[in-house]
């Protein structure tokens, strides 16, 4: 059966920041129109009513026209209101919005290199890694299944950033998004860190924040590989597997990014325990990995790894029990950028 044609919208008056708004007969008409307008990732979206947008803005205390960042090459400016519109459409609740704001600010940081990471043929995704008390408060999953579907906060926050990239920053496939294949991680990619690993300082603490602060790290991901190693029983053995897997693929960079590029290792529980049992901190792991990752290459399938310092290796504990694996999030041409989650109110 052919669905009925969407009812045309009636223009309505602009909001405080001038963002256009229109009226539709009902939510179903809006949802169909959103597909026709190219406002979605292909899935249904929630209408961003003025009330829903205002509720988001109230959680961060920002004016609608407050600037979160810009894409100079596209002459695009992303305001708090525009981010809120896309967050609502992605399914966010108001209390999710401070995390979205932090993610958008991180993504639009100069060294987040957003034009490149969203326009690239390689189709890079954007991992939103959340740390701090906000994870528990919002139910941001960091345990079993945390990289996949099933968790509202993870799904909607990650999707919100992607809709900002698509709608506000105009990275539409076939237009400014030139991805040859793209990949499913571009629908949504957000997870928290399991901060209960004994002796491991959370990522945001390693990057200068207090343990009781919350922060978001956005890392552009060109490819994501599982380093599966079920035979090693020592920290050195697991690290050597990570080095070998990383060097098969290598990591490049350029003059603009200098030595600030990062790799992320999402270390699963079955690997974590070898480090915990041996008393290895994240810092010791970084010190072991860095010289081995950056040693001169020696074979055709042994590629250059561009990492300026041990601290550029970002280690995140996450996942559930069972598989002896660590996920490697190889970067696209950007730094991983961390920004604080700043809240005015938190709706329970």
Partner 1 sequence: MSIVALDPTGGPPSAPRARRLAERPASLAGARLGLVVNGLGHSERFLDALAAELATLVDLAGVVKVVKAGVSVPPDPGDWSRLTEGATVAITGFGG
Residues at the site binding partner 1, with contacts judged by CB under 8 A: 10, 12, 15, 18-27, 29-30, 39, 47-50, 53, 73-76, 79, 81-82, 85-86, 89, 113, 115-116, 121, 163, 167-168, 170, 254-257, 333-334
Q: Quote the least distance from Cβ 49 to partner 1, whole Å.
A: 6
Backbone angles phi, psi at 157, to 5 degrees: -70, -45
42 versus 348: smaller Cβ distance to partner 1: 42
Nearer to partner 1, 2 or 255 (CB): 255
User: Looking at beta carbons only, is 21 or 303 nearer to partner 1?
Assistant: 21
- Identify which of residues 167 and 241 has a Cβ nearer to partner 1 in the complex: 167
Residue in 260, 275, 92 with CA at minimum distance from that of residue 201 = 275
Closer Cβ to partner 1, 177 or 270, answer by number: 177
Closest distance to partner 1 from the beta carbon of 242 (Å): 25
Q: Helix or strand or coil: residue 338? A: strand
If one counts every other C-beta atom within 10 angstroms of the C-beta of residue 304, the result is 14
CB of 24 closer than 8 Å to CB of 72:
no
Q: Shortest Cβ distance from residue 116 to partner 1 (Å)? A: 4
The least distance separating partner 1 from the CB of residue 332, rounded to whole angstroms, comes to 8
Q: What span, in angstroms and rounded, lies between the C-alpha atoms of 166 and 153?
A: 20
Burial 261-282 (b: 16+ CB within 10 A, else e): bbbbbbbbbbbbebbbeeebbb
Taking the C-alpha atoms of residue 227 and residue 234, their distance in angstroms, rounded to an integer, is 15
Least spacing, CB of residue 160 vs partner 1, in Å: 10
Helix axes 80-90, 152-163, angle to 10 degrees: 130
Pick the closer one to partner 1 by CB: 176 or 318: 176
What is the closest distance, in whole angstroms, from the C-beta atom of residue 88 to partner 1 in the complex? 8
Q: CA-CA distances (angstroms) from residue 214 to 7, 135, 136, 271, 305?
A: 43, 8, 11, 26, 30
């Amino acid at each position: 059966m052919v669905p009925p044609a969407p009812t045309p919208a009636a223009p309505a008056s602009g909001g405080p920041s001038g963002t256009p708004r229109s009226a539709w007969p009902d939510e179903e008409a809006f949802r169909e129109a959103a597909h026709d307008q190219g406002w979605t990732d292909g899935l249904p979206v929630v209408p961003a009513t003025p009330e829903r947008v205002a509720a988001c803005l109230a959680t961060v205390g920002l004016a609608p026209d407050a600037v979160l960042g810009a894409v100079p090459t596209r002459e695009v400016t992303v305001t708090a209101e525009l981010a809120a519109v896309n967050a609502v459409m992605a399914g966010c609740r108001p209390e999710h919005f401070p995390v979205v704001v932090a993610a958008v600010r991180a993504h639009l940081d100069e060294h987040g290199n957003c034009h490149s990471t969203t326009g690239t043929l390689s189709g890079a995704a954007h991992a939103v890694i959340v740390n701090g008390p906000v994870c528990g408060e919002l139910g941001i999953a960091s345990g079993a299944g945390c990289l996949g579907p099933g968790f509202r906060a993870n799904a909607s926050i990650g999707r919100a950033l992607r809709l900002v990239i698509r709608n506000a920053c105009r990275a539409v496939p076939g237009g400014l998004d030139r991805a040859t294949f793209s990949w499913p991680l571009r629908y949504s990619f957000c997870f928290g860190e399991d901060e209960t690993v004994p002796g491991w300082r959370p990522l945001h603490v390693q990057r200068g924040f207090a343990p009781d602060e919350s922060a978001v790290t956005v890392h552009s991901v060109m490819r994501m590989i599982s380093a599966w190693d079920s035979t090693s029983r020592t920290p050195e053995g697991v690290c050597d597997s990570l080095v070998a897997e990383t060097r098969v693929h290598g990591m490049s960079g350029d003059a603009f990014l200098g030595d600030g590029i990062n790799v992320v290792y999402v270390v699963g529980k079955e690997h974590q325990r070898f480090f915990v049992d041996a008393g290895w901190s994240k810092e010791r792991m970084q010190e072991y990995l860095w010289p081995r990752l950056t040693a001169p290459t020696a074979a055709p399938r042994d590629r250059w790894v561009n990492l300026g310092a041990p601290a550029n290796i970002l280690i995140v504990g996450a996942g559930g029990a069972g598989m002896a694996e660590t996920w490697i999030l190889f970067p696209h041409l950007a730094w991983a950028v961390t920004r604080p989650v700043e809240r005015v109110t938190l709706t329970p």
